[in-house]
Amino acid sequence: MEAKKLPGIVEIIKKSFVIYFGGKNFLYFLKIALLNLGITLGLVVPIIATSGFFSKEPIVQQVGPAVTVFIPTIVLILAMVIWGLLMQATVVVAVSSVVSGKVLGIKKTIKVAWGKLGRFFVTNFLSGLIILVGFIFLIIPGLVFMVWYQFSQYLVIVRDLRPIEAIKESKKLISGYFWPVVGRLLGITLFFIIFQVVLGFIRILGPLIITLMTPFYVLVPYLLFDSLRKVKE
């Protein structure tokens, strides 16, 4: 009876498209995706250049590879990791604000994400570690943990919880709705696979569309989280 209160997979996906392409939302999400793509390429190109093209140049051999190649490369890789994590948090902030009806500016979105980046990282790290341990010892506990802690990163952003609190709250949120959530997550995953395979047939443009629709892949499961939260409340 309770499971029927959760929207079905088709309803969630339809609502995702309506929200994503509705009003100013698409432009908002597109700006974030383009910013992410631009900064990422701006970091990747120098990494490739310093680690490959310039490694045999005379100046490198004279000054030393550690100074001219390896240290800059490590710094750039570290910057790319931090940027990637920041954009993950930024997309969640953007999605949560749009779903709640409050579209933030790009700068404000990144600022909010930056303020919660530490907790966001620790939460993902701890939940990932628990899931990994579950898979190492027995596969089934790993799968259970994966479902339990699915929404912990959202709770850090939406409710500003600490990592342990977010992990516990995610499990509590799914309690009583484990199988309905599993069914919907599997359906969403299958939809994403089909969606990307279809776009993959479109040369050049297909992969670009997939990249620029990154926020959409967060929006769909977030709507499941939002629906479940409302039902539990």
Q: What is the pLDDT along the chain (233 residues), one digit of tens a residue?
A: 444 589 999 999 999 999 999 889 999 999 999 999 999 999 888 777 666 544 555 544 444 444 455 777 788 889 999 999 999 999 999 999 999 988 788 999 999 999 999 999 999 999 999 999 988 877 788 899 999 999 999 999 999 999 999 999 999 999 989 999 999 999 999 999 999 999 888 888 888 888 889 999 999 999 999 999 999 87
Q: Which residues of 160-183 are buried (b: 16+ CB within 10 A; e: fewer)?
A: ebebebbbbbbbebbeebeebbbe
What pLDDT is attached to residue 72? 74
Tokens read off for 135: 């898979």
What pLDDT is attached to residue 146? 93
Give 137-181 as a DSSP string: H-HHHHHHHHHHTTTHHHHHHHS---HHHHHHHHHHHHTT-HHHH
What pLDDT is attached to residue 64? 47
The answer to whether residues 120 and 88 touch, using CB atoms and an 8 Å cutoff, is: yes
CA end-to-end span of the chain:
16
The answer to whether residues 69 and 60 touch, using CB atoms and an 8 Å cutoff, is: yes
What pLDDT is attached to residue 104? 84
Residues in Cβ contact with 74 at an 8 Å cutoff, skipping those fewer than 6 apart: none
Distances (CA, A) of 190 to 10, 219, 221: 12, 15, 12
Angle at 60 between CA 57 and CA 63, to 5 degrees: 150
Q: For the chain, how many residues are written? A: 233
